[in-house]
């Protein structure tokens, strides 16, 4: 007994607040947080272990970018350390990139010569055009593949986001994870 009205001291009630995913997203937006999609770890991280995290010295943080546009850098090799994004998702891109002309226009004069540009456009079907484009990409360096990725991202943003989400969720479209391990 000891309260003001002579009642026993009772601790204040415990208030449990559960946040919905939408409430969490709203709270994060209020503080201008940015969601960054990244691949899942291939090996477990153990408590008490030490890890070294490294990256490029040319890190650029772009807070004005909205969440749906944030993707891991295409220049960074995939989790297996082998393939560029455009190489990793070649099969999906060949099957699903239409129209092709806007992509070619963005690459023309930068990555593609006039002869290569016309050669791709001369192909009869959209998939064969993308296959022809990828036949040139075998000899490209990472900067050229980054230009192709950027052109695809600008002309087919929904497809690129879908491929990143499939990668982040652990899905393996068309056996790409197993095929990249064999390279």
Domain containing 91 equals 74-183
Identify whether 142 is part of a domain: yes
Number of domains the chain contains: 1
pLDDT of residue 173: 47
Q: Specify whether the backbone of 47 is left (phi greater than 0), alpha (psi in -120 to 50) or beta.
A: beta
Identify whether 16 is part of a domain: no
Identify whether 67 is part of a domain: no
Identify whether 92 is part of a domain: yes
pLDDT of residue 51: 59
Q: Prior bond to 99 cis, omega within 30?
A: yes
Residue bearing tokens 């004005």: 64
CB 121 within 8 A of CB 113: no
Identify whether 44 is part of a domain: no
Residue bearing tokens 């600008």: 154
CATH number at residue 121: 1.10.533.10
Contacts 24+ apart (CB under 8 A), 131-136: 131/94, 133/100, 133/103, 133/104, 133/107, 134/86, 134/90, 134/93, 134/94, 136/112
Identify whether 13 is part of a domain: no
Identify whether 49 is part of a domain: no
Identify whether 117 is part of a domain: yes
CB 99 within 8 A of CB 147: no
- Say whether 112 sits in a helix, a strand or coil: strand
Per-residue pLDDT of the chain (183 residues; tens, 9 = 90+): 555 555 667 777 766 666 777 777 777 777 777 666 666 656 665 656 665 666 666 665 554 433 233 334 444 444 445 678 898 899 999 999 989 999 999 999 999 999 999 999 999 999 999 999 999 988 888 889 999 999 999 999 999 999 888 776 555 444 443 333 333
Q: 39 is written with which tokens?
A: 């691949």
């Amino acid at each position: 007994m000891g309260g003001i009205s002579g009642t026993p001291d009772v601790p204040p009630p415990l208030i449990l607040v559960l946040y919905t995913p939408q409430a969490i997203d709203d709270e994060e937006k209020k503080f201008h947080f940015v969601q960054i999609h990244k691949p899942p770890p291939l090996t477990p991280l153990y408590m008490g272990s030490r890890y070294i995290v490294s990256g490029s010295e040319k890190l650029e943080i772009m807070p004005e970018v909205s969440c749906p546009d944030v993707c891991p850098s295409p220049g960074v090799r995939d989790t297996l350390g082998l393939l560029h994004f455009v190489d990793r998702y070649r099969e999906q891109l060949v099957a699903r990139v239409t129209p092709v002309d806007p992509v070619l226009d963005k690459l023309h004069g930068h990555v593609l010569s006039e002869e290569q540009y016309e050669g791709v456009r001369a192909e009869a079907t959209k998939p064969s055009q993308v296959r022809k484009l990828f036949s040139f990409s075998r000899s490209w360096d990472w900067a050229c593949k980054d230009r192709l990725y950027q052109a695809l991202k600008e002309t087919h943003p929904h497809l690129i986001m879908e491929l990143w989400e499939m990668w982040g969720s652990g899905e393996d479209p068309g056996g790409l994870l197993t095929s990249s391990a064999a390279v």
